[in-house]
């Protein structure tokens, strides 16, 4: 269609569940798999096609499950393997698919593989991880590589005197994909879940799996943005092709790669139709456009934000696929990040951002809570936070005197991923319906008004906007496979773009500002019918006029039927 090979995952809308904060059923304050099952009807009623389940594995939880201790075991706090099997069956019974997170750049240091690897330099699994004798006779790390969670990317192991690599926490040692036996074990663990019937994987930081075996210091151009260096390993494409062949075996299960640090021109090769080892990428150019480093925030004008999507069309190419992900477990809340989360405009701007997510080119991913317009939590002190990344940055910057606590906290509040990890707000009860016990993390004080029960009961809510937009996307091929064109790339308030397949097209107009704004209707849309305003069907399907006036945070979609 329109030059694209059709696949289920291109036409799907995904919903990400971060189980720890989704729904607790046993009163221990931690979300669990039975809780996901209990809330499936809320998800299914949106019309989504697939669920992405964030890590559910056995883990010490240094990084909230992204430090896997056993790839074939469900974490005790989440339930049992029987619970997982019941979830998979319940998802499929509702006509949806299930993909799971797979974290194979690194494991926990408590994983049996690493326990054996560090036991001796002669261990059969020594080369399953990245080891190095170090500099200065072993007294210094091998190079200047840095952990994304603060400090060096190397930790010295007292038992053997050698250094192991950890691009994240020191309890998350990096696996060595250059080791054929290690790769085989990783692939076998992945096949375990495909054989169970899952429909693919979201592959965590998958672009980092290839390391330069010379271990040089960072080149000058990458010292301030090391992700671009680590995502350019010499055997990345080879390793991912090997994974595709050995794990997927020609099936149509999806390979959704996290592409932190992958520039668009190189990303195109990874997702090239018919030859790329991955099906689509979660890219960071838009969601982290206002980051200066890992924790600093910077203001970004709207034309710069919009340019990301034009660049994707130009640099990835028309048929290379991508995901549309403007929020997830690693980023602030969508409406607080890109909208206006104040009481007057929260709903309207959240509906606008739903419109943006579900009409851009690519597979949309909705993060839990965005469908009800959840907002950033009012963190005030570093003790309010849980995230190892933020606390590591505090140690690196504040405790060393590089920046003041006030400056750091102001920036961290704007950028922290902890906002996405507060309890899902199901109702206006004292614990938002998340648990009967003590929640493992904060419950937002606004849950008395911002909650799923209230949203489902209000036909003009953010929830129903998502539902209508998903239905429109399913009914309109141009919103899936249509070409993208930005009509006002330099406008500082308006994002007006089309999605087109031949004569059929949708025109999307978003006023991403707190001021009134107007634009002249682009040529070629005469007679287009207005189909949604702020996610609600208009009472009359008025045609597009010559000029359009939009109120602050208003969103509209017109449809032009093909001949």
Which residues sit opposite 174 in a β-bridge? 106
- For residues 288-314, one letter each, b for 16 or more C-beta atoms within 10 angstroms of the residue's C-beta and e for the rest, the string is eebbeebbbbeeeebeebbbebeebbe
| 357 contact partners, CB below 8 Å, separation of at least 6 | 324, 326, 334, 364, 365, 366
Question: Do residues 326 and 360 lie in contact, with contact meaning Cβ atoms separated by under 8 Å?
Answer: no
Give the span between the Cα atoms of 386 and 437, in whole angstroms.
19
* Parallel/antiparallel/unpaired status of strands 163-165 and 154-156: antiparallel
Q: Which of 258, 387, 446, 491 is catalytic?
A: 258
Give the span between the Cα atoms of 198 and 98, in whole angstroms.
5
* Chain centroid offset of residue 200 CA: 15
Residue with tokens 């499936």: 40
212 in catalytic set: no
124 in catalytic set: no
End-to-end alpha-carbon separation of the chain, Å? 16
Residue spans of beta strands (DSSP E) within 463-523? 483-486, 494-501, 504-511, 517-520
Identify the three-state secondary structure at position 369: coil
Which helix (H) or strand (E) element contains residue 228? helix 226-230
**Strand 280-282's sheet: what is its strand order?**
280-282, 254-258, 200-203, 97-102, 50-53, 14-17, 363-367, 323-324
Q: Which of 77, 162, 204, 389 is catalytic?
A: 204
Neighbours of 399 (CB within 10 A): 10
Q: Transcribe 172-205 into DSSP letters.
A: SPBB-TT-HHHHHHHHHHHHHHHHHT--EEEETT
> How many residues in total does the chain contain?
563
* Chain centroid offset of residue 169 CA: 20
Give the span between the Cα atoms of 211 and 208, in whole angstroms.
7
Residue 465 to residues 3, 5, 462, 508, Cα–Cα distance (Å)? 30, 29, 5, 15
Q: Transcribe 105-148 into DSSP letters.
A: SB--TTSHHHHHHTT-TT-TTGGGB-EE--BGGGTB-SS--B-T
Residue 492 to residues 300, 303, 306, 511, Cα–Cα distance (Å)? 10, 6, 10, 10
Catalytic residue numbers?
204, 258
């Amino acid at each position: 269609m329109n030059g694209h090979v059709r696949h289920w995952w291109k036409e799907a809308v995904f919903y990400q569940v971060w189980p720890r904060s989704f729904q607790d059923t046993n009163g221990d304050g931690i979300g669990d798999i039975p809780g996901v099952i209990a809330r499936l009807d809320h998800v299914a009623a949106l019309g989504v096609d697939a669920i992405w389940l964030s890590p559910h594995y056995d883990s010490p939880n240094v990084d909230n499950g992204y430090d896997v201790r056993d790839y074939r075991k469900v974490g005790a706090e989440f339930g049992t393997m029987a619970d997982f099997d019941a979830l998979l069956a319940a998802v499929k019974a509702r006509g949806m698919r299930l993909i799971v997170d797979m974290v194979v750049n690194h494991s926990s240091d408590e994983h049996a593989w690493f326990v054996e690897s560090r036991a001796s330099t002669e261990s059969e699994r020594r080369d399953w991880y990245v080891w190095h004798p170090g500099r200065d006779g072993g007294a210094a790390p091998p190079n200047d590589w840095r952990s994304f969670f603060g400090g060096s990317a190397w930790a010295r192991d007292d038992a053997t005197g050698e250094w192991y690599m950890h691009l994240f926490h020191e309890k998350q040692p990096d696996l060595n994909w250059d080791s054929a036996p290690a790769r085989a074990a990783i692939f076998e663990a992945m096949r375990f879940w495909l054989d169970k019937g899952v429909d693919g994987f979201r592959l965590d930081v998958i672009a980092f799996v290839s390391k330069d075996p010379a271990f040089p210091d960072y080149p000058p151009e990458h010292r301030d943005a090391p992700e671009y260096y680590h995502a350019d390993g010499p055997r990345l494409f080879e390793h991912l092709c090997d994974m595709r062949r050995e794990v997927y075996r020609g099936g149509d299960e999806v390979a959704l790669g996290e592409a932190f640090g992958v520039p668009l021109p190189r990303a195109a090769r990874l997702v090239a139709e018919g030859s790329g080892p991955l099906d689509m990428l979660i890219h960071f150019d838009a969601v982290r456009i206002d980051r200066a480093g890992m924790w600093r925030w910077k203001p970004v004008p709207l034309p710069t934000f919009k340019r990301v999507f034009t660049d994707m069309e130009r640099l990835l190419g028309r048929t290379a696929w991508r995901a549309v992900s403007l929020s997830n477990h690693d980023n602030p809340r969508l409406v607080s990040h890109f909208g206006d989360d104040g009481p007057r405009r929260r709903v309207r701007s959240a509906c606008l951002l739903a419109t943006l997510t579900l009409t851009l080119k690519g597979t949309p991913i909705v993060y839990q809570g965005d469908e009800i317009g959840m907002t950033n939590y009012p963190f005030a002190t570093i003790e309010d936070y849980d995230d190892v990344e933020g606390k590591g940055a505090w140690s690196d910057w504040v405790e060393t005197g590089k920046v003041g606590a006030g400056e750091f906290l102001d920036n961290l509040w704007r950028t922290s991923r902890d906002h996405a990890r507060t309890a899902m707000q199901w109702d206006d009860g004292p614990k938002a319906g998340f648990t009967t016990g003590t929640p493992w993390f904060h419950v937002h004080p606004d849950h008395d008004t911002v909650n799923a029960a209230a949203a489902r009961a209000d036909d003009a809510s953010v929830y129903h906007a998502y539902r209508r937009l998903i239905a429109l996307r399913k009914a309109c091929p141009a919103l899936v496979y249509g070409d993208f064109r930005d009509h006002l790339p330099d406008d500082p308030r308006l994002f007006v773009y089309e999605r087109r397949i031949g004569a059929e097209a949708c025109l999307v107009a978003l006023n991403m500002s707190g001021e009134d704004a107007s634009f002249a209707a682009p040529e070629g849309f005469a007679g287009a019918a207005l189909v949604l305003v702020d996610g609600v069907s208009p009472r009359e399907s008025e045609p597009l006029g010559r000029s359009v006036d939009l109120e602050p945070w208003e969103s509209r979609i017109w449809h032009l039927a093909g001949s």
